[in-house]
């Protein structure tokens, strides 16, 4: 019998412990009234509400309920802040990668010089080719001079050669212009990297910077 009584007492204590503690919501509404309820108070949806323990102490605080528009504004703000954090982290990652690739100004200057030298070699070859084509076109133009009074009498082959030569020269000139654009792009890339790397090198104790290649 004593064992049965003890079991019943334990069951009673367990049952009491599993009963959820009631929550008490309280707030001061827009009219200055103090309201209390066992659930969130509708009249205080625009202001903070306190959740009290049975003893009267504050268990938690609940912020005002947001309208649909306010929720959209908050979501947009959170998204903007998240994007800004991601952008800053990407900048830091890029800076670390740049510093690993170019631990000193000399290496960055060397790679810039090599990249520009390659483009200039291509430009020199293209310029030489343009000079050759212009010389060939001059010969064809001189031949065409014999038919100045009546160009229609010039041989079809001669006229075709002149047309093809003009097209080839135009293509070479466009290629040279593209190389000038590429030079500007490469220089711009190295300039942008240099602006990011300079403070990093200074932090690492590297302060001597070579003059940029024109």
pLDDT at 18 over 60: no
Q: Write the DSSP assignment of 74-114 as a string of letters.
A: HHHHHHHHHHHHHHHHHHHHHHHHHHHH-SSHHHHHHHHHH
- How is residue 44 annotated by DSSP? G
* Sign of the alpha-carbon torsion through 193, 195, 196, 201: positive
What would the pLDDT profile of 143-186 be if each residue is shown by its tens digit?
Answer: 888 888 888 888 999 889 989 999 999 999 999 999 999 999 99
**Is the Cβ–Cβ distance between 144 and 151 less than 8 Å?**
yes
Place of tokens 């309280």: 26
pLDDT tens, position by position, 195-207 = 999 999 998 876 5
Domains of the chain as residue ranges with CATH: 20-82 (no CATH), 94-203 (1.10.287)
What is the rounded distance in angstroms from the CA atom of residue 126 to the CA atom of residue 117?
Answer: 14
């Amino acid at each position: 019998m004593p064992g049965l009584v003890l079991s019943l007492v334990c069951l009673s204590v367990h049952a009491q412990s599993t009963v959820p503690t009631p929550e008490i919501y309280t707030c001061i509404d827009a009219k200055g009234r103090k309201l209390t309820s066992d659930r969130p108070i509708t009249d205080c949806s625009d202001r903070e509400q306190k959740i009290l323990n049975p003893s009267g102490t504050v268990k938690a605080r609940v912020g005002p309920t947001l309208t649909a528009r306010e929720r959209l504004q908050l979501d947009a703000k959170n998204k903007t802040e998240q994007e800004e954090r991601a952008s800053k982290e990407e900048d830091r990652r890029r800076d670390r990668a740049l510093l690993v690739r170019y631990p000193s100004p000399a290496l960055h200057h060397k790679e810039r010089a090599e990249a520009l030298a390659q483009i200039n070699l291509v430009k020199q070859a293209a310029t030489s080719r343009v000079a050759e084509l212009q010389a060939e076109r001059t010969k064809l133009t001189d031949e065409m001079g014999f038919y100045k009074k009546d160009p229609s009498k010039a041989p079809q082959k001669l006229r075709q050669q002149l047309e093809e030569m003009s097209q080839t020269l135009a293509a070479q000139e466009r290629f040279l212009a593209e190389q000038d654009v590429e030079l500007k792009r490469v220089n711009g890339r190295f300039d942008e990297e240099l602006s990011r790397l300079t403070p990093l090198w200074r932090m690492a104790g590297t302060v001597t910077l070579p003059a940029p290649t024109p």
